[in-house]
Amino acid sequence: MSYWSVAQTQIMREKTAADNLKREGFEVYAPRIKLIERGRLRILPLFPGYIFVQIVEFWSPIVTTVGVVRLLRQGEQPAKLKESFVTALQRNERDGFVKLPKPPKRLNVGDSVRVLRGTFAGHVAIYDGMTAKERELVLLEFMGRKVSLELPPADIEPLEVVARNKVAR
């Protein structure tokens, strides 16, 4: 009976490890995503440093494959992934890339927000989007000009939430 397991790869060598494992006869799945960062398209592994390997009988050659650091184990045996996990990832693929669900949008560009923490705590700013590194961009009026800031999502809240909290008190 075959099952999926996880191989840890050398840093940024997922493709090398996958190619070598395929040459040795293993079925490999290395899911990738597309990410637009600073206006540039980047293709990245969904799980950097890890690939999925289907094990049928023998698994010992995996650990000596070029590009592989180790096979994740449960005791002395390779850790087994649920088939449904890998199948769900494969089902979410479009044109060879996993399509991740978008997080619920709580802010729109142009919305007014209040900065909750840091140097600018209490200031009102204009929401300007989210970076690829999941930081919020805001434009803050400071000394007569608009200044762009990157803040963690927890450090801002929509202005209408602030207004509702004041009414409720």
- Domains and their CATH numbers in the chain: 3-98 (3.30.70.940), 112-168 (2.30.30.30)
Does position 66 have pLDDT exceeding 90, yes or no? Answer: yes
Q: What is the pLDDT of residues 89-110, one digit of tens each?
A: 999 999 999 987 765 567 888 8
Residue 135 CA to residue 152 CA, distance in Å, equals 5
**Strand, coil or helix: 146:** strand
Under the banding of pLDDT at 50, 70 and 90, the label for residue 135 is confident
| Torsion sign across C-alpha atoms 134, 104, 95, 19 | positive
Q: Are 67 and 20 in contact (CB under 8 A)?
A: yes
